[in-house]
Amino acid sequence: MRGLADYHVHTDRCGHAGGASEAFVRRALGLGLVEIAFTDHVPLYFLPLAERDPKLAMREEEFDDYVAEVEALRREFEGRIPVRLGLEADYAEGHEAELSRWLARAEWDVVLGSVHWVAGGWIDDPSTSPARFAREGVENLYAEYYRLLAKAARTGFFDVLTHFDLPKKHGHRPATPLRDAEEAALAAAKEAGCSIEISSAGLRKPVGELYPEPRLLERAVAVGIPVTFSSDAHAPAEVGWGYERTLAAARDAGVREFVTFERRRKRFRPLPE
């Protein structure tokens, strides 16, 4: 997918990704991507120490290594492809001060804001979330999710909001879309200057659909929210994965340009032909 970028890529530190980090960059080069941003999962700062599952995010003691590795890759590939230093940072209500301390520990190119933790649990855990939707109600969880996403945008911590309609991951959807909640999250993103990602990851999940769905992507474009492109790769072969469909969806939604980041400053680039 020449001319696009991949702005959401993990490393094996997160406990559920594999492959050498260098292989992710080589894959990006092979595809003709213009940039790649590593955005590994921030340590689970908002949970008690004993509950920080090393299969979900890097451990605190791996953080400095992560930053150093990406900086080394940046130098190694200089002149061939920009390698950006990013972080996928969970937003957890009430823990803003801790997150702020984590974000102060490196000079990021880009910080992704993710809401996975909703009403005291993971919204997308395959082993627990189906029971949660049944017990707590699909509408309730969606409403709470979008409330948190809007609040995340307003913190100013994040450059890009990830997988905008994440609660659909395993196929749970409200009977009718919660338009007010969606619009409030979009308005918050717009006001805060957040971009959103068009992520192919949803295509690899039970829902089998991009994040966000076309209807929401169109709304984001209409509101004037910039977009970036991402695979949420957890293996080198997933870099740029599904981008034919991602690019087609972007065009269908009226996207004409996308953003990349350097030291948290946006650069607008035209969609490739």
Q: Which is nearer to Zn ion, 85 or 184 (CB)?
A: 85
| Residue 11 beta carbon to Zn ion: minimum distance, rounded to whole angstroms | 10
Q: Which is nearer to Zn ion, 47 or 187 (CB)?
A: 47
3-class DSSP assignment, residue 18: coil
Residues in contact with Zn ion, shown as a per-residue x/- string from 204 to 243 under the rule CB under 5 A: ----------------------------x-----------
**C-alpha–C-alpha distance, residues 37 and 57, integer Å:** 17
| Residue 41 beta carbon to Zn ion: minimum distance, rounded to whole angstroms | 6
| Residue 180 beta carbon to Zn ion: minimum distance, rounded to whole angstroms | 28
Residues in the interface with Zn ion (CB under 5 A) total: 2
Tokens of 88: 């996928």
Q: Which is nearer to Zn ion, 160 or 225 (CB)?
A: 160
Query: Quick one: which of 47, 75, 61, 48 has its CA closest to 105?
Result: 61
Q: What's CA 168's distance to the chain center, in Å?
A: 15
Query: Quick one: which of 85, 12, 21 has its CA closest to 264?
Result: 85
Q: Which is nearer to Zn ion, 88 or 165 (CB)?
A: 88
**C-alpha–C-alpha distance, residues 137 and 139, integer Å:** 6
Query: Quick one: which of 40, 41, 39, 37 has its CA closest to 83?
Result: 37
Q: Which is nearer to Zn ion, 59 or 179 (CB)?
A: 59
Residue nearest to Zn ion (CB): 232
| Residue 256 beta carbon to Zn ion: minimum distance, rounded to whole angstroms | 26
| Residue 232 beta carbon to Zn ion: minimum distance, rounded to whole angstroms | 4
DSSP assigned state of 47? S
Check residue 6 for interaction with Zn ion (CB under 5 A). no
Q: What's CA 262's distance to the chain center, in Å?
A: 17
**C-alpha–C-alpha distance, residues 147 and 250, integer Å:** 25
Q: Which is nearer to Zn ion, 29 or 235 (CB)?
A: 235
| Residue 175 beta carbon to Zn ion: minimum distance, rounded to whole angstroms | 29
Q: Which is nearer to Zn ion, 109 or 232 (CB)?
A: 232
| Residue 217 beta carbon to Zn ion: minimum distance, rounded to whole angstroms | 18
CB 32 within 8 A of CB 15: no
Q: Taking CB under 5 A as the criterion, which residues in 77-136 touch Zn ion? A: 88
Nearest 5 degrees, angle CA 199-CA 205-CA 207? 90
Q: Are strands 257-262 and 227-230 parallel, antiparallel or unpaired?
A: unpaired
* Binding residues vs Zn ion (CB under 5 A): 88, 232
